[in-house]
């Protein structure tokens, strides 16, 4: 299951994200039952607990850039669709620009907290979304 972008996905983000102004990221998160650190460290943390450590650290980085968590919460009930609810948590994060997002993910501070993300996530979808205003502007309205 995917927890990191492929190079072609990053290229599409760069090509399709607004040239200026904010970008919005929809996060669909599935946690591991138990955290698994790449360095083999022993831990009693659940995947959710490890990810929350990442979330605390990355939240500070996002705020320093002028971004914010717009909304976040636990997935509760599948209301439309077939099968089982696949996600544990959902979040929407706003970054002031694509450049700010790229600076954050390339920073040493981000790499430091990223280990908790990797330890906790079983699967993720990260979807760049356009606001209604961005859609209307792109349509010339």
- What is the edge-to-edge ordering of all strands in the sheet holding 23-31? 68-74, 89-95, 23-31, 121-129
Query: In a 10 Å sphere around its CB, with 0-12 CB exposed, 13-18 middle and 19+ buried, how is residue 8 labelled?
Result: exposed
Terminal-residue alpha carbon distance, the chain: 39
pTM here?
A: 0.90
Residue 46 DSSP code: B
Q: What is the pLDDT of residues 37-75, one digit of tens each?
A: 999 999 999 999 999 999 999 999 999 999 999 999 999
Q: What is the pLDDT of residues 81-130, one digit of tens each?
A: 999 999 999 999 999 999 999 999 999 999 999 999 999 999 999 999 99
Domains and CATH numbers, the chain: 19-138 (3.30.70.100)
């Amino acid at each position: 299951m995917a927890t990191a972008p492929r190079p072609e996905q990053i290229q599409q983000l760069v090509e399709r994200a607004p040239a200026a102004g904010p970008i919005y990221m929809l996060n669909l998160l599935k946690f591991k039952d138990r955290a698994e650190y790449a360095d083999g460290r022993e831990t009693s943390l659940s995947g959710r607990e490890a990810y929350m450590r990442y979330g605390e650290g990355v939240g500070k980085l996002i705020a320093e850039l002028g971004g914010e968590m717009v909304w976040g919460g636990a997935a509760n009930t599948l209301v439309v669709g077939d099968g089982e609810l696949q996600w544990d948590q959902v979040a929407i994060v706003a970054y002031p620009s694509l450049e700010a997002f790229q600076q954050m993910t390339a920073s040493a501070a981000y790499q430091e907290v990223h280990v908790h993300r990797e330890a906790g996530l079983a699967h993720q979808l990260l979807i760049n979304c356009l606001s209604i205003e961005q859609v209307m502007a792109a349509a010339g309205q």
